[in-house]
């Protein structure tokens, strides 16, 4: 009888403590704002998905905090990642959406990186993406075959941005002739530059973003879709080749596979190091509930955004693949990431 009473008291104490802890998380977030730092400029695919998340995530958080988006473009999201790692509050009131190439930033030893990927707290992945290389309708580059015969001028968001890294890889590993004009703040500015005739093309443009934000580009044939950056062809782009259709060596294939594995976690949501465990758990649980929510998915469908989300474990799995990269492949990959 004494043992049963002791067990009952212990169980009751456990559930009381658990309830108090849950209540403390709710008390902390009640009336607060969570800042969502986006490592890209306003108007692009990352920004669009961050703002969609900001409209819904608070509904699933204890205390129902509001979310506000802060754009911090530059250096392929390195600026935003550095801020989140060292300067942002570590109390659960700051999270970020950074470019997927930063998952391998320590492997490639990119300039300006002042963070350790392994010490970040991952919350979840908003979507997998298919990045495209497209040319404007006035460009003489009409098909992927033209990319091997003629130079194509592409706008870039900086040497470490997803589009520029991908273009350098394609040039080096399959023989395309992409000339990069660097220095644009982000995808939206590159798009305007393409329309004005400053550049001929955009690289790494999300297929879902193109469909959602510029459907007339497709219906009015204003762009030529040249190549899709993916491990396999998307179901709705069956006739658009991937880089693997042109790769000629096993080393090149492995380098490309390492790069495109990151497309599986195309929209990673991250929190700074040292966020209290119970608040991190609340953020992860809220994220998972949000991505399954009917209202969230309905708005995403209306915006024509991908909803192939994943938990924080999907990001950690890709990071594990990157960490296990053989030295020779890592050296080649690093060289292409650091021009």
C-alpha distance from residue 308 to each of 103, 104, 127, 143, 290 (Å): 19, 22, 5, 29, 12
Integer Cα distance of 7 and 287 in angstroms: 35
Domain boundary among 218, 244, 262: 262
Whether the per-residue pLDDT at 13 is higher than 50: the answer is: no
Domain boundary among 209, 234, 262: 262
C-alpha distance from residue 164 to each of 19, 180, 189 (Å): 49, 7, 15
User: Do 257 and 136 fall into the same domain?
Assistant: yes
What's the structural domain count of the chain?
A: 2
pLDDT value of residue 315:
94
| Sole residue written with tokens 């119970």 | 278
* pTM listed for this prediction: 0.73
| Sole residue written with tokens 């194509």 | 152
User: Do 11 and 96 fall into the same domain?
Assistant: yes
User: Do 140 and 200 fall into the same domain?
Assistant: yes
User: Do 18 and 62 fall into the same domain?
Assistant: yes
User: Do 52 and 20 fall into the same domain?
Assistant: yes
Average pLDDT value for the chain: 89
In the chain, which ranges are E strands?
Answer: 33-38, 66-71, 94-97, 121-125, 131-136, 152-155, 178-181, 201-206, 223-228, 268-271, 310-311
User: Do 45 and 112 fall into the same domain?
Assistant: yes
Section 44-67 average pLDDT: 95
pLDDT value of residue 22:
47
Integer Cα distance of 306 and 211 in angstroms: 10
- 225-269: pLDDT as tens digits: 999 998 889 889 999 999 999 999 999 999 999 888 887 888 999
Q: Are strands 121-125 and 268-271 parallel, antiparallel or unpaired?
A: antiparallel
Q: Which helix (H) or strand (E) holds 10?
A: helix 2-29
Integer Cα distance of 115 and 146 in angstroms: 40
DSSP-derived secondary structure letter, 66: E
Q: In what order do the strands lie in the sheet with 178-181?
A: 178-181, 152-155, 201-206, 131-136, 223-228
Whether the per-residue pLDDT at 8 is higher than 80: the answer is: no
Non-local (6+) Cβ contacts of 191 within 8 A are 202, 214
Q: Which of 128, 115, 190 is nearest to 158 (CA)?
A: 190
User: Do 269 and 308 fall into the same domain?
Assistant: yes
pLDDT value of residue 21:
45
Q: Which of 111, 119, 93 is nearest to 282 (CA)?
A: 93
Q: Are strands 33-38 and 66-71 parallel, antiparallel or unpaired?
A: parallel
Integer Cα distance of 204 and 210 in angstroms: 11
pLDDT band with cut points at 50, 70 and 90 for residue 90 = very high
Indicate the length of the chain as a whole number.
Answer: 339
DSSP-derived secondary structure letter, 143: S
User: Do 274 and 252 fall into the same domain?
Assistant: no
Domain boundary among 262, 288, 314: 262
CATH number at 244 reads 3.40.190.10
CATH number at 100 reads 3.40.190.150
Range of the domain at 62: 2-128+265-337
Do 187 and 202 contact (CB within 8 A), yes or no? Answer: yes
User: Do 135 and 118 fall into the same domain?
Assistant: no
User: Do 151 and 298 fall into the same domain?
Assistant: no
User: Do 236 and 150 fall into the same domain?
Assistant: yes
User: Do 258 and 135 fall into the same domain?
Assistant: yes
């Amino acid at each position: 009888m004494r043992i049963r009473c002791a067990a009952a008291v212990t169980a009751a104490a456990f559930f009381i403590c658990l309830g108090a802890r849950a209540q403390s998380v709710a008390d902390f977030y009640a009336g607060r704002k969570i800042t969502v730092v986006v490592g890209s400029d306003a108007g692009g695919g990352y920004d669009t998905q961050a703002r969609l998340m900001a409209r819904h995530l608070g509904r699933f958080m204890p205390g129902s905090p509001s979310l506000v988006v802060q754009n911090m473009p530059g250096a392929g999201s390195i600026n935003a990642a550095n801020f989140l790692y060292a300067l942002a509050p570590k109390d659960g009131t700051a999270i970020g959406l950074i470019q997927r190439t930063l998952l391998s930033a320590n492997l490639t030893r990119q300039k300006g990186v002042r963070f350790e990927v392994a010490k970040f707290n991952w919350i979840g992945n908003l979507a997998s993406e298919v990045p495209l290389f497209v040319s404007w309708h006035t460009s003489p580059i009409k098909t992927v075959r033209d990319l091997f015969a003629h130079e194509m001028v592409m706008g870039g968001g900086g040497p470490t941005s997803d589009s520029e890294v991908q273009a350098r890889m394609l040039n080096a590993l399959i023989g395309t002739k992409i000339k990069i004009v660097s220095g644009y703040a982000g995808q939206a500015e590159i798009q305007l530059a393409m329309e004005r005739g400053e550049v001929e093309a955009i690289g790494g443009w999300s297929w879902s973003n193109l469909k959602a934000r510029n459907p007339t580009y497709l219906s009015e044939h204003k762009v030529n879709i040249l190549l899709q950056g993916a491990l396999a062809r998307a179901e709705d782009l069956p006739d658009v080749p991937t880089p693997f259709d042109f790769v000629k060596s096993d080393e090149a294939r492995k380098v490309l596979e390492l790069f495109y594995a990151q497309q599986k976690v195309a929209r990673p949501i991250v929190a700074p190091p040292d966020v209290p465990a119970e608040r991190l758990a609340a953020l992860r649980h809220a994220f998972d509930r949000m991505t399954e929510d009917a209202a969230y998915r309905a708005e995403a469908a209306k915006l024509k955004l991908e909803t192939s989300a994943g938990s924080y474990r999907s990001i950690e799995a890709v990071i594990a693949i990157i960490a296990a990269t053989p030295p020779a492949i890592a050296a080649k990959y690093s060289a292409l990431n650091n021009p």
